[in-house]
Chain A
Amino acid sequence: MAFVNMKTKEVQAKIVFYGPGRGGKTTNLEYVYSKFRERIKTDMVSIKTHGDRTLFFDFLPFDIGKIMGYDVKIQLYTVPGQVKYNATRKLVLKGVDGMVFVADSQRDKREKNHESLKNLQENLAAYKKSIFKIPLVLQYNKRDLKETPLMPIEMMEKDLNKQLKAPSFPASAITGENVVPTLKKIISLTMASLQNVMK
């Protein structure tokens, strides 16, 4: 539910990073924040627990410049990944325009990825949105890990993306690998979906 202001020629769109707990959603945003520091005029907002886990959300406003004469402001959000925070996680999805699903590539997180994707589908449905229709990008995070066994990309594609057929990226949020391409992809899908209203 992006807001297009015809008077100020400004578009505000909401992109939410979703995925299992400790999967790297906040790290994605932190990387974007460090990489584009000069474009982001404000601080990143994080509502965390004492143990440094996301309690409510992280928020990062991101100015991407002019598209079709409109000043486009992308609002990046993360949700808390922990299962117990579903009530707040659901609130963050209100008015979402585009989604990034950050999956954890570690073999023992296979079930957690599944649960989280299913939870996303249910929570979107509560807002009458379909996971098959909303602009969505999948990110297979933590490809840099050497110590723990990782799932092959083909296996993750089959597990999570067989029906969705969304664009996907193997990535490492901590090193920054494919973080920006993930973001660029979801921004372009989201803007394409908004084109009908930006005339």
Chain B
Amino acid sequence: MGSDDSYEFTDYSLDQEQLEYIEEVLDDDLIQAGVHSVLLIDMAGNIIAQKDNGHCDHDVYSLAALASANFAAVDTMAKIVGEEEFSLLFHKGENENIHFSKVHSEFLLITIFGKDVTLGLLRLKVNEVVEKIRGLWE
């Protein structure tokens, strides 16, 4: 057995120009605003784009796998209790925090930030980034 022509790949496609634009947006709007590290991943756990401030040494592949699974689990929980989705997904730590934001049905934006960025500012910035990335498909 194996594969044949009808086998499907990603439900989305991004060319080099679009990837460069995404990286630029992540850098300009989030890293420059003081975010430590940001990942754009798909729901299968693949990394689409990644930027950090140069001081992070995270295992981004494991982080992406766990983040997509965590998001999927929370999303399923929302449906069980009758919600379409939970709009705020945020984990607070002593020094580092993680914020999850759904870009569209296939993409998730994971932002890791410290004490120097407030949650309010972060959500504002993340919303701007999400709008810009969504704009690629409009």
Contacts and interface: CB of A to CB of B under 8 A. Distances in A.
Interface of A: 1-7, 12, 14, 42-43, 45, 56-57, 59, 61, 73, 75, 77, 87-88, 91-92, 94-96, 128-129, 132-136, 164-167, 189, 192-194, 196-197
User: How many B residues are at the interface, by size bracket?
Assistant: 20 to 34
Interface in B54-108: 59, 61-62, 65-66, 68-69, 72-73, 76
B9 A166 contact: no
A2 B47 contact: no
Contacts of B14: 6
Contact of B19 (A5, A135, A166): A5
Given A42-B59, A135-B2, A91 B76 contact: yes
Contacts of A136: 1-2
B79 to A, nearest CB: 10
Interface string B7-39: 111110011100110000000000000000000
Given A42-B62, A133-B6, A193-B2, A12 B47 contact: yes
6 contacts: A3-B44, A3-B47, A14-B44, A92-B69, A129-B8, A193-B2
Contacts of A42: 59, 61-62
Given A91-B73, A132-B1, A7 B19 contact: yes
Contacts of B59: 42-43
Contact of A73 (B1, B2, B6, B61): B61
B10 A1 contact: yes
Contacts of A94: 43-44, 68, 72
B118 interface: no
B interface: dominant SS: loop
A1 B48 contact: no
Contacts of A167: 1
A75 B52 CA distance: 22
B66 A45 contact: yes
Candidate in B16, B46, B59, B73 with the most chain A CB atoms within 10 angstroms = B46
A166 B10 contact: no
A189 B3 CA distance: 7
A95 B3 contact: no
Contacts of A92: 69
A95 B46 contact: yes
Given A7-B16, A133-B7, A194-B9, 5 more contacts: A2-B9, A4-B10, A45-B65, A88-B73, A133-B3
Candidate in B6, B19, B42, B61 with the most chain A CB atoms within 10 angstroms = B61
